[in-house]
Amino acid sequence: MRSTAVAQVGRKRPIVPRLFTETVLILGKDLILEWRTRTRLNALIFFSFATLLMFSFALGPDTKLLKENAGGYFWLAILFSSVLALGESFRIERENASLDGLRLVPIDAKAIFLGKALGNALLLVLLGILLLPVMVALYGVTVAMGIGRLFAVLALGSMAISWPGTVYSAIASNARARDVLLPLLLFPLVLPALLAAVKATGLVLHGDPMLQLGSWLGLLIAFNLIYWALGLALFPQVIED
């Protein structure tokens, strides 16, 4: 075979580092885009604030009830925002068929999955951190078991939404009625993860006398591992024609 100019440009690098560098590049690109369209990001943050606020109104001024279920409202606010964030994450790829552009570079499709999912998880974690003081103010909760554990639950829960969410968003973004399809597919799927995250958050907020936190965290970790693996295996099939 004739060695062309391209073949010499140095594409001979080991596979693992290449997947890693590509993932970092995709993640970095998505974060830059997020930052450059920060007006949208702000709107998303206020949307989640509004969601928290709405729960207070829907339930009336029963402080005890609000406090008890704070974890549930917190995660519902994050879940609703996640649908918007995930949808946006593939809308930008559709705009000029950039996803095709990435495929043809070529790039390992797994890197797109990992980069996008991590980017979305990061966004949700950030959202959670911003929502926390609002939740404290609105519902009067205190963090009984330390902010570190809360952060761990937040990170695990956000990733649990992001792995399957990225696969489903890639699918839904190309279908008709994509705005309905993504939550319809995603909500029932992440229900166990949401349940675990809500329970774990509640325990971290109100204390854990019966030592149940471990089993809920275990469920979250298992969910993460399963959908991380499935996403890696299936995402390439989704975006290749």
Query: Can you give the binding site for another protein, defined by CB under 8 A?
Result: 1-2, 4-7, 9-11, 13, 21-22, 25, 29, 32-33, 36-37, 92, 95-98, 100-107, 164, 167-168, 171-172, 174-178, 180-181, 184-185, 187-189, 191-192, 195-196, 199, 212, 215-216, 219, 222-223, 226-227, 230, 234, 237-238, 241
Q: What is the smallest separation between the CB atom of 234 and another protein, expressed in angstroms?
A: 5
Measuring CA to CA, which residue among 102, 136, 137, 111 is closest to residue 27? 111
Q: What is the smallest separation between the CB atom of 26 and another protein, expressed in angstroms?
A: 9
C-alpha distances out from residue 144 to 65, 188, 193, 209, 237, Å: 17, 30, 22, 11, 44
Q: What is the smallest separation between the CB atom of 160 and another protein, expressed in angstroms?
A: 10
Measuring CA to CA, which residue among 187, 167, 157, 170 is closest to residue 229? 167
CB atoms within 10 A of CB 96: 9
Q: What is the smallest separation between the CB atom of 30 and another protein, expressed in angstroms?
A: 10
Name which of 10 and 61 has its Cβ closer to another protein.
10
Q: What is the smallest separation between the CB atom of 190 and another protein, expressed in angstroms?
A: 9
Q: Residue 112 in contact with residue 239, Cβ under 8 Å?
A: yes
C-alpha distances out from residue 181 to 16, 131, 164, Å: 34, 27, 14
Q: What is the smallest separation between the CB atom of 75 and another protein, expressed in angstroms?
A: 14
Name which of 137 and 144 has its Cβ closer to another protein.
144
Name which of 106 and 133 has its Cβ closer to another protein.
106
Name which of 73 and 113 has its Cβ closer to another protein.
113
Cα gap 158→194, rounded to integer Å: 9
DSSP 163-205: HHHHHHHHHHTTSTTHHHHHHHHHHHHHHHHHHHHHHHHHHHH
Q: Tell me the chain's radius of gyration from C-alpha atoms.
A: 20
Helix H, strand E, coil C: the string for 97-152 is CHHHHHHCCCCCHHHHHHHHHHHHHHHHHHHHHHHHHHHHHHHCCCCCCCHHHHHH
Q: What is the smallest separation between the CB atom of 39 and another protein, expressed in angstroms?
A: 11
Name which of 118 and 131 has its Cβ closer to another protein.
118
Name which of 59 and 92 has its Cβ closer to another protein.
92
Name which of 52 and 164 has its Cβ closer to another protein.
164
